[in-house]
Structure 1
């Protein structure tokens, strides 16, 4: 096996030729696109995927090492899932950090003074172009605005403060399944083990993986 340079392990932009593209379905927030993609050797293959505006999530950590979590019904998987506050980048021109602040207020009625980027992920790159940025928020306090008027699935949310260690055990035991919660909790645990929170990126760090705006047509 050929030895690789130390900096080889990084995802790199690439784009194979597309001979045709259709949008057979357009929904309220996302759509489905069907591309005919030229494969190595010259043959084409159809790739269907969800076009998504992207999302942000917030792991809000208090001075007692507890994380703000919410429980919400998710119809596609027929489960109530424990999650961290999160939401779509569906406001045109809104910076991701502003969206994260908004979601933390709307879903948990919390504000934060200290923000860092915890981790960036593609949630399901084989079937969706959704990219998510998970922030770490500290220096927490109750939001000063009136509570956000929740509706639909959010109307029955449960809120809790759970120790980070307990969430980590829940993820590894297979009891907690939400992507943003699992990735955020494990990333924070890893960051602490690999040099501390000072190694995290600033809240305004570049985000090359962010999809191209909220247009899903």
Structure 2
């Protein structure tokens, strides 16, 4: 890395040097300690490097299939939000259409297109990647991607998905992107996909959309 430390004792480097690295550690034991309806909890013993040689540590982690999120932006730059009840936090949250990668053999982009159709009765002509992230890397393998969907149109009534469970009462609204940013910064939105998606999309728009990546970009866990 380049740069020299100043009085703070921390080197200054170019942003181009910030790149997460894939690192392989030796896993000596793996045990599924909980099998859930959506995800499992796995206990692994992994070797970490140390001054006196490798040290074995035990970590519990959520084995997650990954998820996709869709920021649907209409021609007037309104963002589509859905209000949905989330039992773990006992709240109705304003969210973006999203879903798990839990259909065998389904790639992320088709999954995002399916979720937009099922949850919002919408289709989109143009798809781009806005941002990727690991939702809680200290305890979960979940990778998430936000797609920007534009060129929106309604799914014909006869082809619409019959929603069930929490999705039966989804409430859709459209909000100007700038006002969605204000809602995030004011602390009125708590869903991570909505927070990250709105801020990242606003930044991409300010850059003339130059930061967007192809819809078929490699999935985060495939890098390296």
TM-score normalised to structure 1 length: 0.92
Query: 2:37 matched to which residue of 1?
Result: 28
SS at match of 1:197: coil
1:98 aligns with 2:107: no
- Mapped partners of 1:146, 1:185: distance in 2: 29
- Mapped partners of 1:50, 1:200: distance in 2: 30
* Equivalent residue in structure 1 for 2:171, among 146, 158, 168: 158
Which structure is richer in relative contact order (CA contacts within 8 A, separation 6 or more)? Answer: 1
1:146 aligns with 2:159: yes
1:187 aligns with 2:200: yes
The equivalences for 1:42-61 within 5 A come to 42-61=54-73
- Mapped partners of 2:194, 2:14: distance in 1: 33
- Mapped partners of 1:101, 1:27: distance in 2: 26
Query: 1:214 matched to which residue of 2?
Result: none
The equivalences for 1:1-217 within 5 A come to 1=5, 2=11, 4=13, 7-41=16-50, 42-144=54-156, 145-193=158-206, 195-209=207-221
**Gap change, CA 1:198 and 1:128, over 3 Å in 2:** same
**1:199 deviation in Å?**
2.9
Q: CA-atom RMSD, angstroms?
A: 1.6
- Mapped partners of 1:129, 1:61: distance in 2: 29
Unaligned stretches of 5+ residues in structure 1: 212-217
Q: Is the 8 A contact 1:131 1:210 kept in 2?
A: no
Unaligned stretches of 5+ residues in structure 2: 6-10
- Mapped partners of 1:126, 1:6: distance in 2: 24
Q: Is the 8 A contact 2:130 2:211 kept in 1?
A: no
- Mapped partners of 1:89, 1:184: distance in 2: 18
SS at match of 1:45: strand
- Mapped partners of 1:141, 1:151: distance in 2: 23
